[in-house]
Amino acid sequence: MYWVVVHAGEVPYREGQSIGVIADGEDKNGKPHKLRLYSIASSALGDFGDSKTVSLCVKRLVYTNDQGEVVKGVCSNFLCDLKPGAEVKITGPVGKEMLMPKDPNATIIMLATGTGIAPFRSFLWKMFFEEHEDYKYTGLAWLFLGVPTSDTLLYKEELEKMKEMAPDNFRLDFAVSREQTNAAGEKMYIQTRMAEYKEELWELLKKDNTYVYMCGLKGMEKGIDDIMLDLAAKDGINWLDYKKQLKKSEQWNVEVY
């Protein structure tokens, strides 16, 4: 995993948006590479507070295909191999699905796997690392971050610092699937960790000012649905119908791949 800061000049963006990156060079057909979208991992002010940079969280993609050939992801390797001062073609910003709620008293539940932490880092920087005349976060932010091993916990020190700074406003739970298990001995995936708080999470989901954001691997979505199906049924509620209502009111926001 790499943290890339792009000096973007006058490219205003909002927390939760993405930018497109076009890698240098051409594809096998001699055409320019297609743009790849990356969630922005910095607040609108940027990591240096001057509104001139965009931070991205990038995982270098390298794998061996069925023919035994080593394949490298075009854009991820381009970004990870950049030298300071290199020029980068970018587009955007784009995206409405993951925009941070404007209500400073909202309950914001963030569900991330791997580099899916990117938009939530942008949220949390605005909430806890910055001061704004027109915004002071007073609600509850609760982050569930799932990764395979503890050495892939992105921004761990930052997140723990935020928890120290705002213990009443920020809750933080990690799910490390290859190292942790629950009481039943099951691997600790993000939905497994959430199940430990399922009653509390369900009560929060019944409130009008609770917003859920999910970013990362698509596989976690079904596991979370499975938890909520049973909880909702106890209250005589059809979870899939209820989730549609949440989506309509922009309280259930999903960006998975």
So which residues are the catalytic ones?
38-39, 215, 255, 257
Residue 148 annotated as lining a ligand binding site: yes
In eight-state DSSP terms, residue 68 is S
Whether 130 contacts 43, CB under 8 Å = yes
Residue 216 annotated as lining a ligand binding site: yes
Residue 52 annotated as lining a ligand binding site: no
The label of the residue with tokens 């050939």 reads 69
The label of the residue with tokens 């320019």 reads 32
For the record, the structure tokens of 126 come out as 């605005």
* Spatial separation of the C-alpha atoms in residues 123 and 101, rounded to whole Å: 9
SS3 call for 111: strand
Residue 255 annotated as lining a ligand binding site: yes
Residue 187 annotated as lining a ligand binding site: yes
SS3 call for 143: strand
SS3 call for 224: helix
Cα separation values, 250 from 87, 187, 211, Å: 37, 31, 8
Whether 214 contacts 191, CB under 8 Å = no
Residue 150 annotated as lining a ligand binding site: no
Q: How many residues can be counted in the chain?
A: 257
Whether 126 contacts 13, CB under 8 Å = no
Residue 60 annotated as lining a ligand binding site: no
224, exposed or middle or buried, with CB in 10 Å at 0-12, 13-18, 19+? buried
Residue 39 annotated as lining a ligand binding site: yes
* Spatial separation of the C-alpha atoms in residues 38 and 45, rounded to whole Å: 18
Q: Which amino acid is at 153?
A: L
Residue 217 annotated as lining a ligand binding site: yes
Binding residues: 39, 59, 115, 147-148, 177-178, 187, 216-217, 255
Binding residues for NADP(+): 39, 59, 115, 147-148, 177-178, 187, 216-217, 255
